[in-house]
C-alpha cells in the first residue's frame, strides 16, 4: 500500500430523510482542525443518499472544501450493503488519509463493514483526535522509524474507566468513529461553496442487500438534550414518572435548560430513550449538569462527566455519583428541588 498516495481528511456526512445529521457538522469542525496540521489541508465530506446533491452547500458552510456526492435511488434509506459499497468505493477512488464517521446507530454499522472491506484499522467511539508522532516517543536507536503526522485516536473503554490512544501507522485511511456531542462545529460561513463531485457506482442488488419491510419513526421529544446548556437529570430515585414535574420546573428556570434521565428511568418506561444520558444513551457536556436521584453507575458517568459543573443530590451518601460531582448534596430531593426552583425563580425575578 502506497501510504503517501492517501491525502486529506474525509468525513461521512450522515443524512436521514435528506436532512444532514448534526454529527456531520461536528466532524467537519474536527476535520478542519486536523487538516491544518497536515501537509494536504483539504477537507472533504462524503454525502450518500438519493436526491441529496442540494445539501452540499450546507456542508460547505460548515467547513467542507469538497463534497463527494454518491446519489442513487438504492441509497434512499440507510442499508448496510449499498452504503458500505458507496463509502468503500469513494475511499478507493479519492484516497483520503483520514476517514471520520459518526458513532451513531448508522456509523457504528457502516464503519466496521467498510474497514473490513478495504482492510484498514478502525478505532471506535473516539472522544479526542490529534495529529502527532507514533510512537509518541522515538525508540532509542530507532529515531528514524518514528512516524510523523499520524492520527492519534483517544477513546474510553471499560465504561469509561480506562482510556487508550490508538494509531494506525501502516494502513490507510486511518479510520475513526466519533461520538456525537463531543466535537465542536464551527460557526457556519454563510454562502460558502464547495467543489462538488458526483462519482457513479453500480448498485445492482446482490445477496448482501436486505429488504426494508417497514419504517417506523418513533415520536421523539422536540429538543435534543445534547443542545442543552443546563441539564436537570433524574434517576430511579425520582420515584415515578409524575415526579419528573419538579425537574421540569427547575429546568425551566434556566435558559437552555432541559430534562434528561438515567438508563433506569428508560428501562422503567418513565421516559423515552432519547432523553437517556450514558454509555447506551447520549453523551452530553452542558455547562451545568444536575444529577438528581441518580446513583452514578459508570455507564451513566461516561456520558456526562465532561460537563463543566456537576451538582448531585442524593439521599445515599455513598452513591458513586458523589465521586464525580463538583458539589454533592446529601438530602431529600423531594424537599430540596422545589425549594431550589423557588429560590432561582426569585433570583431571576430580581434581575429582570
Partner 1 sequence: MKIVVCVKQVPDTKGGVKFKPDGTLDRAAMLAIMNPDDKAGLEAALRIKDEDPDNTEVTVVTMGLPKADAVLREALAMGADKGLLITDRVLGGADTWATSSTIAGALKNMEYDLIITGRQAIDGDTAQVGPQISEHLGIPVISYAEELSVDREAKTVTVKRQFDDRYHILKAKLPCLVTALSELNDPRYMTPGGIFDAFQKEVTVWGRDKLDVADENIGLKGSPTVIAKASDKVAKGKGEVVTPETPQEAVDYIAGKLKEKHVI
Count of alpha carbons within 13 angstroms of residue 185, beta-carbon side: 19
Residue 251 makes CB contacts below 8 A (sequence gap 6+) with 230, 231, 232, 257, 258, 259
Closer by beta carbon to partner 1, 39 or else 347: 347
Cα 150 to Cα 26, 64, 249: the distances in Å are: 21, 21, 48
Q: Output the smallest distance, CB 143 to partner 1, in A.
A: 17
Closer by beta carbon to partner 1, 113 or else 185: 113
Q: Output the smallest distance, CB 180 to partner 1, in A.
A: 9
Closer by beta carbon to partner 1, 194 or else 321: 321
Q: Output the smallest distance, CB 280 to partner 1, in A.
A: 9
DSSP assigned state of 54 = G
Q: Output the smallest distance, CB 187 to partner 1, in A.
A: 23
Q: Output the smallest distance, CB 22 to partner 1, in A.
A: 11
Give first-to-last CA distance, the chain, whole Å: 65
Closer by beta carbon to partner 1, 187 or else 216: 216
Alpha-carbon torsion (239, 240, 242, 248), positive or negative = positive
Closer by beta carbon to partner 1, 158 or else 198: 158
Q: Output the smallest distance, CB 238 to partner 1, in A.
A: 16
Task: Give the whole-angstrom CA distance, residue 250 versus residue 118.
Answer: 50
Cα 347 to Cα 250, 258, 308: the distances in Å are: 13, 19, 22
Q: Output the smallest distance, CB 190 to partner 1, in A.
A: 28
DSSP per residue, 91-156: HHHH--SEEEEE-STTHHHHHHHHHHHHT--EEEEESEEEEEEESSSPPTT-GGG-EEEEEEEEEE
Closer by beta carbon to partner 1, 143 or else 213: 213
Closer by beta carbon to partner 1, 63 or else 235: 235
Closer by beta carbon to partner 1, 159 or else 192: 159
Is the Cβ–Cβ distance between 44 and 8 less than 8 Å? yes
Q: Residue 74 has which C-alpha cell? A: 438504492
* Nearest alpha-carbon partner for 4 in 118, 143, 147: 147
Q: Output the smallest distance, CB 253 to partner 1, in A.
A: 8
Closer by beta carbon to partner 1, 44 or else 150: 150
Helix (H, G, I), strand (E, B) or coil at 289: strand
Q: Output the smallest distance, CB 84 to partner 1, in A.
A: 8
Residue 78 makes CB contacts below 8 A (sequence gap 6+) with 16, 106, 110
Cross-strand pairs, 44: 10, 66
Residues present in the chain in total: 352
Tell me, rounded to whole angstroms, the distance of Cα 350 from its chain centroid: 39
* Nearest alpha-carbon partner for 263 in 240, 280, 286, 245: 280
Amino acid at each position: 500500500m502506497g501510504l503517501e498516495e492517501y491525502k486529506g481528511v474525509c468525513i461521512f456526512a450522515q443524512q436521514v430523510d435528506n436532512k444532514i445529521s448534526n454529527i456531520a457538522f461536528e466532524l467537519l469542525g474536527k476535520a478542519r482542525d486536523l487538516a491544518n496540521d497536515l501537509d494536504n489541508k483539504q477537507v472533504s465530506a462524503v454525502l450518500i443518499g438519493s436526491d441529496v446533491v442540494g445539501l452540499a452547500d450546507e456542508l460547505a458552510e460548515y467547513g467542507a472544501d469538497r463534497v463527494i456526492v454518491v446519489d442513487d435511488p438504492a441509497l434512499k434509506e440507510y442499508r448496510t450493503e449499498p452504503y458500505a459499497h458507496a463509502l468503500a468505493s469513494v475511499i478507493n477512488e479519492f484516497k483520503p488519509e483520514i476517514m471520520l464517521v459518526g458513532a451513531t446507530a448508522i456509523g457504528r454499522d457502516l464503519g466496521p463493514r467498510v474497514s473490513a472491506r478495504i482492510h484498514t484499522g478502525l478505532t471506535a467511539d473516539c472522544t479526542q483526535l490529534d495529529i502527532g508522532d507514533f510512537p509518541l516517543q522515538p525508540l532509542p536507536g530507532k529515531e528514524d522509524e518514528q512516524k510523523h503526522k499520524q492520527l492519534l485516536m483517544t477513546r474510553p473503554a471499560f465504561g469509561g474507566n480506562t482510556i487508550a490512544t490508538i494509531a494506525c501507522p501502516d494502513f490507510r485511511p486511518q479510520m475513526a468513529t466519533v461520538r456525537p456531542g463531543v466535537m465542536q462545529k464551527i460557526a457556519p460561513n454563510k454562502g460558502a461553496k464547495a467543489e462538488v463531485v458526483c462519482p457513479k457506482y453500480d448498485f445492482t442488488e446482490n445477496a448482501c442487500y436486505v429488504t426494508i419491510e417497514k419504517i417506523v419513526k418513533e415520536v421523539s421529544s422536540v429538543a435534543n438534550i445534547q443542545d442543552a446548556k443546563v441539564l436537570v437529570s433524574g434517576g430511579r430515585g425520582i420515584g415515578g414518572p409524575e415526579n419528573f414535574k419538579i425537574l421540569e420546573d427547575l429546568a425551566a428556570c434556566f435558559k437552555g435548560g432541559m430534562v434528561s434521565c438515567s438508563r433506569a428511568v428508560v428501562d422503567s418506561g418513565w421516559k423515552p430513550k432519547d432523553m437517556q444520558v450514558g454509555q447506551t444513551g447520549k453523551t452530553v457536556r452542558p455547562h451545568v449538569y444536575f444529577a438528581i436521584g441518580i446513583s452514578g453507575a459508570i455507564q451513566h458517568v461516561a456520558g456526562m462527566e465532561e460537563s463543566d459543573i456537576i451538582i448531585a443530590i442524593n439521599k445515599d451518601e455513598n452513591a458513586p455519583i458523589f465521586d464525580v460531582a463538583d458539589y454533592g448534596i446529601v438530602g431529600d430531593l423531594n424537599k430540596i428541588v422545589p425549594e431550589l426552583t423557588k429560590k432561582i425563580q426569585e433570583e431571576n425575578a430580581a434581575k429582570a
